[in-house]
Structure 1
């Protein structure tokens, strides 16, 4: 089963992200748009795992995150990863307590290394994917200005979740397998 560790958002914030995504759609020729239920912040993509490994993952995360306190983030800007003639990924960037976000990322990396997963070699670039394979009608700067003027709710980081990622009826569905509460 395909899995990842991430941070989920309140419904109200997901609805705000949909508003921003709608503006992006309005200035685009085409794109693949993330569903409202799938907005999240990934800490570690695990890929395919055996179900038997879930409990080991839970134990390692509980051990490493047992003293980690809650914090919050804010969305303040956006960016993209470039593709061939398109924007491969358009994302929103979290801001605020990035030091704590990087700390929790490191603790998750340590926990998963203990369970046998390879460490991420690339630098952690926290992002919230809202669309893929986007071709714009207008300059990206128009979207950037819109995002920077938008007033987003805070992202409360209160728990870390192991998500199952599966395709159901040609739609990607993320289902929480377990949650680790922060203090």
Structure 2
């Protein structure tokens, strides 16, 4: 493959805080216990659980190194988050996304989000206009449901904490599960 071919290829990428395995396992256990009560068609693989910091979208392979270089410059201290129940986007009758809420040091999480946006803005990436709403997506694409989703969500796991000591650049592989691959990890210190 020639250099020109490499520059024209693109990948779908985003920056995220990955969810550690013990937290992901707890969310998976809850999901499996309640899956038949929830009207979703597409469930997130537990290895794909994350908190998005910035979605970058289709990006040339050539630009990946520049993104990594910019993200390596971010200076932030580790901080603590925890899962804190859950909810959904959309109406209870037809929810679009099922999610786990996060709590803890949200100020540091928002600061990291802003640092990522600043680091990528010089490369032409534009932040979303909607307010940052950190969460862990558990499922998408609901069928019509009854109102039991609110009741089921009241039992979502809460209170499990972890230290966020790194974030990642992730690549999406469509139509496979798990679908996210770590491109690079960036340590907080």
Common fold by TM > 0.5 = yes
Classify 1:77/1:114 alpha carbon distance in 2 versus 1 (closer, same or farther; 3 Å): same
The answer as to 2:172 corresponding to 1:165 is yes
Find the counterpart in structure 1 of residue 16 from structure 2. Answer: 6
Please give the per-residue CA displacement for 1:61-114, whole angstroms capped at 9, x wherever unaligned: 122x22x10011011121211169521101011001111111011111111101
Alpha carbons of 1:139 and 1:118: their partners in 2 closer, same or farther (altered >3 Å)? same
Deviation at 1:30, TM superposition (A): 4.5
Query: What is the TM-score with the length of structure 1 in the denominator?
Result: 0.89
* Superposition TM-score, scaled by structure 2 size: 0.86
Tell me the CA shift for residue 152 of structure 1: 4.6
Q: Which residue of 1 aligns with 2:181?
A: 175
The verdict on how the C-alpha distance between 1:166 and 1:71 changes in structure 2, with shifts beyond 3 A counting, is: same
Counterpart-to-counterpart distance in 1, 2:94 and 2:22: 30
In structure 1, how many angstroms separate the alpha carbons of the residues matched to 2:91 and 2:42? 13
Task: Show structure 2 runs of 5+ residues with no match.
Answer: 1-10
Q: 1:151 to 1:122 in 2, by over 3 A?
A: closer
Matched, 1:44 2:54: yes
Alignment match, 1:92: 100
- The answer for unaligned runs of 5 or more in structure 1 is none
Equivalent of residue 163 in structure 2, options 142, 156, 159: 156
CA RMSD of the aligned region, Å?
A: 1.9
